[in-house]
A and B are shown apart, each in its own frame.
Chain A
Amino acid sequence: MKVLKLKKHNLNEYLDSLRIWGEIFGPVRQGEKYIYGHLDNLDKLDLKMVRTILPVKKFLVPPKFNTFTFDKHNYKAELQNIPRRIVFGVHPCEIHGLLILDKFFMEKFPDPFYQERRRKTAILGLSCVPDDKCFAKSTNTHYVESGFDLAFNDLEEFYLVWVGSSLGDDLVRLRLDLFDEDIKEKDLRRYMEWRTWRDSQYKLKLDLTAMPDIMELNYNSPLWKELGDKDLACGACSMVCPTCPCYNMHDRLNPIGNAGERQRSWDSCMFKPFALVAGGHNFRENRSQRVRLWYTHKLKAFITEFGKAACVGCGRCIDTCPVDINVKTVVQALKGEK
């Protein structure tokens, strides 16, 4: 991988230059929180962001979109008009989230709707410093080697910029004049010092490696009933999780009834009708069953299927759940650490 240097004060100018490739999004403030907002004006860019409300998955797996338009019998896939977008400021944990979604959507039966959006979305990563809800160090997602086009590491006066793909290379070439290819020994030392300091900042430690066995052994634990009673089945955890991809499907007809759209929208296994079948039987009627499944799938199933847990330690569930049911509280309870 190629590494370049970009002076801090050149960042905005550089990002402005990228507009010819696509629309730029990045962390902006929204009330007390942050989101990936449209950077029509780079003054909005707020690099103090630790986490956004919704993860970067919202660009690749939109909350609601058309897969097909149809008239009587012809279905036309909606793959032509997907706009090119650049998302700047994506933290390593989130890029790991994308790597997990890549495996999920593209390994078996590749999903063209995800594939096309992934292709058309440039990911510009940004280094970060954890807060008390981040545990990316425990999930080993605090550094990332692939899945991005460019990755910026903030070292006060300058950024070290890793080029992660051929698109990243093209994006650098748009303003090669702003980049310095001559990385000095002291720059690298600075980077290593930063790494050591930053790694020491993780307060929350959560080891997920034993979770498959622990989940298996705790299948009948009274904890699930306890959690089920507290849980609101609001599904917010699914919405904010970088790796929750479940969706519902819905056909919409135009008012005349001769054409329409097939839509996908975000769904959550926490919702009551998720496992409801025609005829009325619900395979997960109780909230306790649904909470148990959410965690089983996230912390056990993914390991069986893909080799690593689907949790990237981003802390969104900890930040979002109104009743404090999240990866931290559940794992600690299952391990008897509560």
Chain B
Amino acid sequence: MVNNIYQPEPMRIVRRYDLIEDVRFFQVRPIEMERALQLDYLPGQFMMVSLSGVGEAPFSISSTPSRPGLLEFGVRKTGVLTEELFKLKENEIIGVRGPFGNGFPIEKFEKRDLIIVVGGLGAVPLRSLLLYTLDNRDHFGKIYFLYGAKKPSEMLFLRQFMELKQRDDLNSFLTVDKDDTGTWTEHTGVVTNLFKHLKDVNPKNTYATVCGPPVMYKFVIDEIIKLGIPKHQILMTLERRMHCGVGKCGHCVIGSIYTCMDGPVFSYWDVLHMKDLI
């Protein structure tokens, strides 16, 4: 059977709920059980999601491959396709193809410490990595999770992250720029303020992963560099316009690379040596 890389696979929406205003969680699964169990991917990869008659766009995978059978996405309503996607209800079918992209180099994280830094919507792809490492806890050293959002109502997966805070094997810090609820129990201030809580960082043995709004990268990376973590051990996941996901349509090209094939995960070393990445 010819495997056409552009062929969307039908998947059913099995769950959806709003994470924050204009950002919705979607859980989908392949129609056939066999296929659902075969689903495999790496944290950091993405899927191309199709709505027939509307179009196709890339979405970071938020679920972890260690919990097979389902795919999860966090989608912001911001354009033509997402506008239509938000009109869909449970049990409706969407087209999905992938996984694409390089994903995080999980094998390099073996036995290492991890610092996962998230800003705003960056929680979507990094949640995949966080859950994966927790599901495979023995393979990793210390894990730090730092999440900064503008206010509590803009923090994605807040309830899940609050639950994870209670784990002994995870050092989790949540912060908001401003608490407008009066009931926020966690930290306030920008996410860079959380770095002072990181104790005994062994820089050579640590990988840092970062995802968030463009403005955040510079400041967070400065903090990570201060810790002495080598540049090739600082990873971030980027996004661009994509119509194919397989290095053909050209839209995700940055200089000499294709975000969909050479990325979307890049290291800080890549950022310094390739122009226009961030």
Could you list which residues of chain A lie within 8 angstroms of chain B, going by C-beta atoms? Answer: 67-68, 70-75, 77, 104-105, 108-113, 219, 245-253, 257, 260, 262, 267, 269, 274-279, 283, 289, 293, 296-297, 300-301, 304-305
Contacts and interface: CB of A to CB of B under 8 A. Distances in A.
Interface in B215-240: 239-240
A278 B79 CA distance: 5
26 contacts: A68-B6, A73-B93, A75-B8, A75-B52, A75-B95, A77-B4, A105-B248, A109-B246, A109-B248, A111-B6, A245-B250, A249-B243, A249-B249, A251-B51, A251-B53, A251-B55, A253-B53, A257-B53, A260-B52, A262-B56, A269-B253, A275-B251, A278-B80, A283-B240, A297-B253, A301-B256
B7 interface: yes
A301 B257 CA distance: 7
Q: Which 9 A-B residue pairs are closest in the complex by CB-CB distance?
A: A278-B79, A246-B250, A301-B256, A109-B246, A249-B243, A253-B53, A70-B52, A279-B78, A73-B93
B248 A248 contact: no
Contacts of B257: 301
B57 interface: yes
Interface in B71-85: 76, 78-82
Given A276-B241, A297-B256, A67 B6 contact: yes
Interface of A is mostly: mixed
A252 B255 CA distance: 32
B54 interface: yes
Contact of B2 (A112, A249, A267, A277): A112
Nearest to B53: A253
Given A275-B241, A296-B255, A112 B4 contact: yes
Contacts of A301: 253, 255-257
Nearest to A112: B4
Interface of B: 2, 4-8, 10, 50-57, 76, 78-82, 93, 95, 239-241, 243-244, 246-251, 253-257, 261, 275-276
A212 B68 CA distance: 44
A247 B249 contact: yes
Interface of B is mostly: loop
A105 B6 CA distance: 13
B253 A249 contact: no
A247 B248 contact: yes
A307 B249 CA distance: 20
Contacts of A219: 275
Given A246-B251, A275-B251, A276-B241, A73 B275 contact: no
B238 to A, nearest CB: 10
Contacts of A247: 243, 248-250
Nearest to B273: A216
With most chain A CB atoms within 10 A of its CB, the pick from B8, B246, B250 is B250
Contact of A111 (B5, B54, B243, B275): B5
A68 B242 CA distance: 18
A278 B53 CA distance: 18
B79 A75 contact: no
B5 A110 contact: yes
